Structure 1
């Protein structure tokens, strides 16, 4: 249950950050928003592509932390330069879009791998559903907050990203780890063992 709640929180905060950055690119008044969106789409593709490579090099957990750390850095830089340097702000925001896209790409692989086959579909659905709450919330927050207080949202979102990194540290690495086939809640204590189902050997996790 703890792992499920942690995964849901990661999904919520990651999608909040994704739509915060994406909405910010489209809402920039001093830079052409159409060009920003087109470049953002290319940057997002690059983020997903790099994520697919990095997760096989250094693992899911480290990849996610690296991308999220870069997201934090970009989110903290933007409020310091957004008023005087619109072009530089757009560049930093695009780097942030790359980073958060990479984070999303990794999370879609990483989170399902954390759960046994018998509950993986439920866990993935929970992760995605909670993430959609973040996707709905982010644009609403952006439209409700007055422009003079907008800079504060960057610090808040950076804090959420920092919490996300902290929660990720609690999760195990799943690279090159065999999938767990079943989860058995009947016994206390957690151990993994092989059982014979009559047709094939299955791995079962006992709690």
Structure 2
């Protein structure tokens, strides 16, 4: 479970930074005024920082994150189906919708990561996830500049598909809303299905239960005669 959480969150962080900075720096491929593009992109972040708060508080972390990833991917891929005229207002609108959803996902992934990792590994897990995410911010300009020379839609296709894959992988993670934060790795492994048999449970958990039964047999409680 901890391995699954780590690998999926690494990809989610990489996708967030890749798509966020990819959209933010993609005005050249969209044939838009870079100053207006950056202004609207920054303006779009204000509602994405605030409107997600009640949504996350009500529906948890998993469902909103999946929703934001999928809607972002759909919005970006819809651009490929529109007419070639990229200077229209509706083209800019759809791009800003994608920017809104990936910014919202960026906010949720911070909270979700800190709640998925146990206390003993929370700092390390969040730090490594953020470090892996910086890879996306490093390669996003190269995707826009180098691949965009061949066709303007190639970067958008990469960003859209990455968002859809991240949304699908997030479905494999547990929900953390209204749950006690895990303190140890054993607490994280306990999130597995309770219907698992004893031989399928983590080896250290089964050994701990066996030790407790042996201790209770060697040291029976004293009763009055």
Quickly name the TM-score band, shorter chain normalised: 0.7 to 0.9
Residues 151 and 122 from structure 1, CA distance in 2 versus in 1: closer, same or farther, beyond 3 angstroms?
A: same
User: In the alignment, what sits opposite 1:172?
Assistant: 174
1:56-71 aligned within 5 A: 56-71=57-72
User: In the alignment, what sits opposite 1:20?
Assistant: 22
Q: Is the 8 A contact 1:7 1:127 kept in 2?
A: yes
* CA deviation profile, 1:173-193 (whole Å, cap 9, x unmatched): 1111111112359x61658x9
Deviation at 1:28, TM superposition (A): 5.7
Residues 73 and 145 from structure 1, CA distance in 2 versus in 1: closer, same or farther, beyond 3 angstroms?
A: same
Give the whole-Å Cα distance in 1 for the aligned partners of 2:156 and 2:33.
Answer: 21
Give the whole-Å Cα distance in 2 for the aligned partners of 1:6 and 1:29.
Answer: 31
Give the whole-Å Cα distance in 1 for the aligned partners of 2:93 and 2:58.
Answer: 27
- Alignment counterpart, residue 188 of structure 1, candidates 190, 203, 216: 203
Give the whole-Å Cα distance in 1 for the aligned partners of 2:104 and 2:148.
Answer: 30
Residues 190 and 151 from structure 1, CA distance in 2 versus in 1: closer, same or farther, beyond 3 angstroms?
A: farther
Normalized against structure 1, the TM-score is what? 0.83
Deviation at 1:42, TM superposition (A): 1.6
Deviation at 1:47, TM superposition (A): 0.9
Q: Is the 8 A contact 1:68 1:165 kept in 2?
A: yes
Structure 1: gaps of 5 or more residues: 194-207
More strand by share: 1
CA RMSD, Structure 1 to Structure 2 (Å)? 2.2
User: In the alignment, what sits opposite 2:196?
Assistant: none
Give the whole-Å Cα distance in 1 for the aligned partners of 2:170 and 2:30.
Answer: 35
* CA deviation profile, 1:57-98 (whole Å, cap 9, x unmatched): 111111111111110111111123363142221111111110
Structure possessing the higher relative contact order (Cα contacts under 8 Å, 6 or more residues apart): 2
How many residue pairs were aligned? 190
Residues 93 and 57 from structure 1, CA distance in 2 versus in 1: closer, same or farther, beyond 3 angstroms?
A: same
Give the whole-Å Cα distance in 2 for the aligned partners of 1:65 and 1:79.
Answer: 22
* CA deviation profile, 1:85-144 (whole Å, cap 9, x unmatched): 422211111111101000101111111100111100011001100110100011111111
Larger of the two Rg values belongs to structure: 2
User: In the alignment, what sits opposite 2:198?
Assistant: none
Q: Is the 8 A contact 2:19 2:102 kept in 1?
A: yes
Deviation at 1:157, TM superposition (A): 2.2
Give the whole-Å Cα distance in 1 for the aligned partners of 2:114 and 2:105.
Answer: 14
User: In the alignment, what sits opposite 1:110?
Assistant: 112
